[in-house]
Amino acid sequence: MVYILDTHALVWYVTADKRLGQGARTALESVDAGDNQAIIPIIVFGEILYLEERKRISVKLDELIERVKTNDNYVIAPLTLEIVNEARKVKEVAELFDRMIVATALVYNGVLVTRDLVLRKAKEVETVW
């Protein structure tokens, strides 16, 4: 299975935050075990940079990048025109970065790992938390 990670899912998994949902934890453990693949939209790293600079998270962007680069089951998805065009279909998600994350899930035909209730209600994509 292919999982698409949003910012909270990645940060909270790496930091063992108790707010991570059990479904999300199980999905990411299966990725670490080599049973599944995780796709991380590049925009997630932009959000992590923003949060790090404002000291809203304890983990560093460089640590997350290194962790992802050392595990072949994690793939960084670039922002492409295909994803931007797919975002047009995601009308009920107003926030642009969130639309790009949902669109990435559509392009990669993956399950979106998110706590965001707006994204979980998006009818275009399957979610887990």
Q: What is the third-level CATH fold of 2-128?
A: Rossmann fold (3.40.50)
**121 pLDDT tier (thresholds 50, 70, 90):** confident
Q: How far is CA 35 from the centre of its chain?
A: 18
3-state secondary structure of 77: strand
**30 pLDDT tier (thresholds 50, 70, 90):** very high
pTM for this prediction: 0.94
User: Burial code of 59-85, b = ≥16 C-beta within 10 A, e = fewer?
Assistant: bebeebeeebeeeebbeebeeeeebee
pLDDT in tens, 60-94: 999 999 999 999 999 999 999 999 999 999 988 99
Angle at 49 between CA 65 and CA 83, to 5 degrees: 75
